[in-house]
Amino acid sequence: MDRLVILYGGKIRAEGTCDELLTSGDKTIVETDALNPAEVEALDRFLRENAGHVVRRISKPRQRLEDLFLDIVERARTERVETSGAQAGGPTAAFLRGDGPAADGDELIDRLVKGEPEPAPTEPAPPAREEPAKGPDEGVIGDLLSAKPQAPAPERAAPQAPRAPAAKREDVDLSVIDSLTADDDRRPEPPAEPRR
């Protein structure tokens, strides 16, 4: 994407490259190795005395959450941590790589509007591995058979919640129900006063 245009109210409010639009021109970021408090104070004093600027904010850099997860997985792999079969580093899914027929934007929109079905994948999916059927767990069956039957708990009648008194027939506005259930072509006209 080379250039962006932001419209609001039918008028162009901003345009330019993504970097141009997202760059804040009234601030500067200085990135250094970690500073101790004395160095931060000296830097602030230098900027005030020599440039008339103040340090507005000092913070530690943050990494993306995805990078943190990948770093943790990579460290665990180098330590050869045992997993339950989950692995990283496999092939990237085809839809993420962009493999397959790349359609022009207009072609894609036309195909979606016409409702044409997606083309079938050229490679058949690999057959699923069949695991041998396991027999019954004799230990569990033995435990169930040797257990003494327990007497069923006596059933208790659930207390009934008090019922709200039904609305009086003359307080019900039936025109609301009629307007919701009537067909569009024979929908009743709303009455001047509610029907009772």
Number of H helices, E strands in the chain: 7, 2
Give the tens place of pLDDT for each residue, 63-90: 889 989 898 888 888 888 777 666 656 6
Does the pLDDT of residue 46 top 80, yes or no?
yes
What distance in Å separates the CA atoms of residue 116 and residue 34, rounded to the nearest whole number? 57
Q: Dig out the tokens for 52 from the structure.
A: 């008339």
Binning pLDDT at 50, 70 and 90, where does residue 104 land? Answer: low
As given in the structure block, the two tokens for residue 3 are: 């250039």
Pairing assessment for the beta strands 4-8 and 11-16 based on DSSP bridges: antiparallel
Q: Is pLDDT above 90 for 45? A: yes
Residues 15 and 58: their CA atoms lie apart, in Å, by 31
Percentage of the chain modeled with pLDDT above 70: 57
When pLDDT is averaged across residues 118-124 and rounded to a whole number, the result is: 65
The pTM of this model reads 0.31
In the DSSP assignment, the letter for residue 192 is: S
Closest to 56 measured CA to CA, from 21, 23, 29, 36: 29
Question: pLDDT higher for 115 or 39?
Answer: 39
Q: What pLDDT does 5 receive?
A: 92
- Using pLDDT thresholds of 50, 70 and 90, give the confidence band for residue 102: low
Residues 14, 6: contact at Cβ < 8 Å?
A: yes
| Main-chain dihedrals φ then ψ at residue 65, nearest 5 degrees | -60, -40
Q: Helix H segments across 84-130?
A: 94-97, 105-114
- How confident is residue 49, by pLDDT bands cut at 50, 70 and 90? very high
**What are the start-end ranges of the E strands in the chain?**
4-8, 11-16
- Position 136 scores a pLDDT of 75
Give the mean pLDDT of the chain. Answer: 76
CA dist 127 and 124 (Å) reads 9
